Amino acid sequence: MSAPESATHNPIDIDPGKCVRCDFCDWICPGDLIYHEDGNKEKLPVVMYPDECWYCGLCQSICPADAITIIFPEEMIHNKTDVVSLLGKVVK
Amino acid sequence: MSDGWNEIDTDLLVIGGGVAGSLAAIPALEAGLKVVICEKGRLLDHCGSVGCGVDHYLTVMDSGPEWDTPEFLIKHVPGLTDGIVDMAVTSKVIHQMPRILKKIESFGVDFKDPRIGDYYRLRSFGLPGTYHINFDGTDFKKLIGQQVRRGRATVLMRTMGVQLLIDDNRAYGALAFNFRTGEWFAIRAKAVMLAAGEVNRLSKNASGLAFDSWHFPYNTGDAHAMGYRAGAKLANMEFIESTLTPKGFSAQGLNALVSLGAYFVNKSGERFMFKYDEKGENARRAVLADAVVNEFLLGNGPIYVDLRHLPEDELDHMEATLQVDRYTMPAFYDQKKLNFREDLVEISVSEFSIRRSGVYFRGSGLAVDTNGETSVEGLFAAGDCATVSGGIAGAAVLGHIAGEGAVKRIHTSPRSLPEIDREAAGAIRAEAMGCLGRPDGMPWRELEDQTRQTVTDYVGVRRNDKGLRLALATLHALAEKEPTLQADDLHGLMRVYESKSIRLCAELMATTSLTRKETRTRSAHRRLDYPETDDRNWRKFIIVERGADGPAVSTLTTDRPLADAFGRAPERGEADVGT
Ligand SMILES: Cc1cc2nc3c(=O)[nH]c(=O)nc-3n(C[C@H](O)[C@H](O)[C@H](O)COP(=O)(O)OP(=O)(O)OC[C@H]3O[C@@H](n4cnc5c(N)ncnc54)[C@H](O)[C@@H]3O)c2cc1C
Ligand code: SF4
Ligand code: SF4
């Protein structure tokens, strides 16, 4: 994985006590981020590419065991960006 | 052909199984044809932009009043699109809206509001009537997907279309690969439908996270890129679409807030929208975004949405439906500890996408005729990658029209399918798989980050000649590095293809922006060096296609349909369709 160092925030928390290892989150994630070996009842699903998350919550909405919580990163919750920096540079 | 290829022959190949692709498959299945769908998602019932649900559907219904007739809406389209719109295709789409609405209802989608037992229709974004049906569209895509599966289409899931097969300006299939198994597919088809959505991950937003995007971040202009490389003509690529989002989370919801009566206020608490448009907060999306851009540049930020004046029952309704468009919105407000009944909601300008520049019916992408066919014979396009688009309704209606067009094309072309050039196909696969064994190559993230920074700085809401030329020089230099791109695994290979599509679309956007020497639709195309709208010289489409040394640009006046630039002999009776 070549994810940059700063992108280690995990967008979803899977509760190992609740998860029934059903594969649904792996199937529904539109970004192909969640991997779980089909039918494996031992292992938990893994978020392989955390920095590619859309924060759509489809995984949470489909989870039959209510095992998933979405966790927004700091830069989304308490955003400090100056919006003017997104509005372009004028080359004279 | 073998050599490890999975070979499939079919009648219609659809690339992208979202709203447009699914609606295109349906008429072909009804005609008894074989349909193959390539889709990056794993479940047809949940894939694409609307996998998490939708809440509004734009349509005329012919319910009685004059405003609800196709003719009335059609009359207003040139005004809504600032004169840049393909009226031939748009008229046909609007005429077919009532029929396709009924058809989607027959799949089980319930557009009625259970509270009133009728359609709940709202006015928004400057449209001249209450054309938006507000509904609970949680299962919208599921019911459409089920209809396609009932028709027995072959659906190749987690399979990305990467290259069209073209013979003598005629499309006859595509190459695709499965990014979980590594299987490669060579699919021959009598007609090909491009329905892979719009172009996202194109510029930066407040959070700085590339995949935090208002629109579906996994739609990356693959249809535009494949079509362009195949020689198809594209139009309206110069226009930017952006919106206003809660700061830090690029998500939908603006439509709902605006139609409920939210106010926009600046740092001084001033309600500023009426300075920009007599409709105030009910102006078109492009006008709303432009006004906020302007307030920021005037130093009037932060900008907020104010909901505090709304009646309790409206706020209750809003709270109850907040998750329909974006499931995680309540969790976001929760984690932020923000209560919109008491607090102002700080907003930001979103990242840009190439889609339909905040206006209905003027899509940015593959030019199509009234059958949904592009300038390449047998190659069709619909949805947010085509030149007429308008949310789920636009995608559904043009998708269905294009599906019917493909059926006609399949029935009238007796030609047998050409043999696939094994060597060329093998070279494409070898080049792709080469990305996996190149540990010192350029990561796709780097190509994307540099493209995004370039677009943000020089191809965004403040364009001028010098900046656009600088952007093009950077984008060309990045193209030179593409052969060194590297991926860690098959999933990364998908991202490599996506990042190349994004860079190419940025180049097409910069090229066409440089051509349009005027400002139109406010910040959707603002040239600081040509600040006025110039109808005399620029009420024209800018068409771009592959030339000998990169993108070649031409223009066409907008009193003619884009198909006039195709050089295809019109069908008999075609001239009077929907004009
Ligand atoms: C969260 C959200 C809410 C929205 N709400 C509304 C609403 O309420 N009303 C409304 O009118 N509009 C809404 N929209 C907009 C609407 O969803 C789009 O305009 C519409 O879906 C466009 O249809 P499409 O078929 O072009 O794209 P999509 O429905 O996104 O389908 C494109 C498909 O192509 C696939 N794909 C992409 N590239 C490839 C490739 N290379 N190979 C194979 N497959 C590929 C994707 O996986 C995707 O499934 C919303 C959008 C979002 C993101
Ligand atoms: S929130 Fe969406 S994108 Fe993120 S892991 Fe869950 S399903 Fe995937
Ligand atoms: S959907 Fe829920 S229960 Fe099923 S594997 Fe994922 S986290 Fe576990």
Per-residue pLDDT tens for B23-33?
A: 999 999 999 99
Residue-wise pLDDT for B53-71, tens only, equals 888 999 999 999 999 999 9
The pLDDT-based confidence of B572 (bands split at 50, 70, 90) is: low
Mean pLDDT of A18-47: 95
Number of domains in chain B: 2
8 Å CB contact of A4 and B445: yes
B126 pLDDT more than 90: no
Shortest-distance ligand to the CA of residue B156: 1
pLDDT at B578 over 60: no
Are A76 and B249 within 8 A, CB to CB?
yes
- Asked if the structure places residue B398 within a domain, the reply is no
- What are the structural domain ranges in chain A? 12-74
* CATH number of the domain encompassing residue B328: 3.90.700.10
For the cut 60, the answer to whether the pLDDT of residue B543 exceeds it is yes
What is the pLDDT at residue B415?
A: 74
pLDDT of residue B2: 62
pLDDT mean over B279-305: 91
Instruction: Specify the pairing of strand B184-194 against strand B379-381.
Output: parallel
- Model confidence band, residue A2 (pLDDT cutoffs 50, 70, 90): very low
Model pLDDT for residues B324-354, shown as the tens digit of each residue = 778 899 999 999 999 889 999 999 999 999 9
Percent of chain B with pLDDT over 70: 97
Whole-number CA gyration radius for chain B: 23
Residue B159 in tokens: 């399979």
Beta bridge partners, B384, equal: none
Q: In angstroms, what is the span from residue B347 Cα to ligand 2's centroid? A: 23
Residues of chain A found within 8 Å of residue B486, distances taken between Cβ atoms: 2
Alpha helices in B108-233 (DSSP H): 140-150, 222-229
Amino acid, res. B144: I
Of B315, B349, B383, the position where a domain reaches its end is: B349
Per-residue pLDDT for A3 more than 50?
no
Q: Give the torsion sign (CA, B493, B497, B498, B500).
A: positive
Lowest mean pLDDT among A33-37, B233-237, B250-254, B484-488: B250-254
CATH number at residue B546: 1.20.58.100
What was the pLDDT predicted at B285?
A: 78
Q: What is the mean pLDDT of residues B162-167?
A: 97
- pLDDT of res. B19: 98
Residue B189 pairs in a beta bridge with B10
The dihedral sign for the CA sequence B462, B463, B464, B470: positive
Rounded to a whole number of angstroms, the distance from the CA of A59 to the nearest CA of chain B is 10
pLDDT at B255: 67
Q: Is A34 in the pocket of ligand 3 (CB under 6 A)?
A: no
CA of B493 from ligand 2 middle (Å) equals 20
Q: In which band, very low, low, confident or very high, does the pLDDT at B570 lie, cut at 50, 70 and 90?
A: low
**Subunit contact B52:A56, Cβ cutoff 8 A:** yes
Answer yes or no: is pLDDT of A6 > 60: no
Q: What is the pLDDT of residue A5?
A: 45
Assess if residue B220 is contained within a domain.
Answer: no
What is the mean pLDDT of the segment spanning B116-127? 88
Residue B510 lies in a domain: yes
For residues B481-488, give the mean pLDDT.
97
Minimal CA separation from A61 to chain B, in Å: 8
pLDDT at A7 (0 to 100): 53
If residue B348 lies in a helix (H) or strand (E), which one and from where to where?
A: strand B345-349
**How many interface pairs between A and B have CB atoms less than 8 angstroms apart?**
158
Q: What is the 3-state secondary structure (H, E, C) of B87-121?
A: HHHHHHHHHHHHHHHHHHHHCCCCCCECCCCECEE
Smallest-distance ligand from the CA of A14: 3
SS3 B438: coil
State how far the Cα of B109 lies from the Cα of B138, in Å rounded to an integer. Answer: 10
Of A56, A70, A79, the CB nearest to B248: A79
Residue B462 lies in a domain: yes
Looking only at the bridges linking them, the beta strands covering B550-557 and B540-547 are: antiparallel
Count Cβ atoms below 10 Å from residue B533 Cβ, excluding itself. Answer: 15
The structure tokens listed for A58 are 């489809």
pTM of the prediction? 0.96
Place of tokens 């759509």: A56
Only one residue has tokens 């996506």, namely B498
Q: Which of B344-353, B407-416, B463-472 has the lowest mean pLDDT?
A: B407-416
Least Cα distance to B174 among B364, B15, B281, B407 occurs for B15
Structural domain boundaries enclosing B288? 244-349
List, in order, residues 6 or more apart from A85 with CB less than 8 Å away.
none
Angstrom distance (rounded) from CA B67 to CA B532? 32
Task: Flag whether B527 is in a domain.
Answer: yes
Q: Which of B330, B349, B368 is the last residue of a domain?
A: B349
Q: CA-to-CA distance for B30 and B507, rounded, in angstroms?
A: 40
From B210, B348, B457, residue closest to A89, measured CB to CB: B457
Question: Tell me, what's the pLDDT at B142?
Answer: 96
In a domain, B454, yes or no: yes
Is this complex scored with an ipTM above 0.90?
Answer: yes
| C-alpha distances in Å from residue A71, one per residue of A2, A9, A14, A75 | 22, 9, 11, 12
- Asked whether residue B431 is assigned to any structural domain, the reply reads no
Give CATH for domain A12-74.
3.30.70.20
Residue in chain A nearest B441 by alpha carbon: A2
Ligand 3 site, residue A53, Cβ cutoff 6 A: no
Q: Write the DSSP string, B449-498.
A: HHHHHHHHHHSSSSB-HHHHHHHHHHHHHHHHHGGGEE-SSHHHHHHHHH
pLDDT at residue B1 in the model? 57
> Which range has the worst mean pLDDT, A72-86, B435-449, B561-575?
B561-575
Identify residue B548 by its one-letter amino acid code. Answer: A
**DSSP letter for each residue of B220-245:** BSHHHHHHHHTT--EE-TT--B--EE
Q: Could you report how far apart the first and last alpha carbons of chain B are, in Å?
A: 46
Q: What is the pLDDT, as a whole number, of residue B577?
A: 40
Are residues B517 and B534 in contact, defined by beta-carbon separation less than 8 angstroms? yes
CB B526 within 8 A of CB B519: yes
Instruction: Name, in order, each residue with C-beta under 8 angstroms of B119's C-beta and a sequence gap of 6 or more.
Output: B61, B111, B112, B113, B133, B135
> Which chain A residues are within 8 Å of B498, Cβ to Cβ?
none
Domain boundary among B349, B374, B408: B349
Q: How confident is the model at residue B574 (pLDDT cuts 50, 70, 90)?
A: very low
State the pairing for strand pair A12-14/A68-70.
Answer: antiparallel
Other Cβ atoms within 10 Å of B62 Cβ, number: 14
DSSP B9-62: EEEEEEE--SHHHHHHHHHHHHTT--EEEE-SSS-TTT-STTTT-EEEEE----
Residue of A32, A49, A86 with shortest CB distance to B204: A86
- Is residue B149 domain-resident? no
With cut-offs at 50, 70 and 90, classify the pLDDT of residue B143. Answer: very high
Question: Chain B window 66-125: which residues touch A at a Cβ cutoff of 8 Å?
Answer: none
Tell me the ligand closest to A36's alpha carbon.
3
Strand pairing class (B303-306; B345-349): antiparallel
B491 has a chain A CB within 8 A of its CB: yes
What does the DSSP assignment read for B366-421? Answer: E---TTSB-SSBTEEE-STTBSS--HHHHHHHHHHHHHHHHHHHHHH--PPPPPP-
List chain B residues with CB under 8 Å of A79. 206-207, 247-248, 348
Q: Write down the pLDDT at residue B575.
A: 44
The neighbour count for residue B431, using CB atoms within 10 Å, is 11
Confirm if B517 and B475 have CB atoms less than 8 A apart.
Answer: no
Tell me which residue in A27, A61, A84 faces B43 most closely, judged by beta carbons. Answer: A27
Predicted pLDDT of residue B503: 98
Is residue B286 very low, low, confident or very high in pLDDT (cuts 50, 70, 90)? confident
The whole-number average pLDDT for the span B137-160 is 96
Q: Which residue spans within A1-92 are E strands per DSSP?
A: 12-14, 34-35, 46-47, 68-70
Q: Closest residue (by CA) to atom 4 of ligand 3?
A: A22
Tokens coding B453: 């920074």
**What's the CA gap between B233 and B543, in Å, rounded?**
6
What tens digit of pLDDT does each residue of B514-539 get? 999 999 998 899 999 999 999 999 99
User: Mean pLDDT over all residues of chain B?
Assistant: 94
Backbone torsion region of residue A21, taken as left when φ is above 0, otherwise alpha when ψ lies between -120 and 50, otherwise beta? left
- B165: enclosing H helix or E strand: strand B159-166
Pocket test for ligand 1, best of B43, B54, B187, B493 (most atoms within 8 A of CB): B54
Contact in structure between B521 and B361 (CB atoms under 8 Å): no
Question: Nearest-CA neighbor of B81 among B550, B464, B524?
Answer: B524
Q: What pLDDT is recorded for position B238?
A: 98
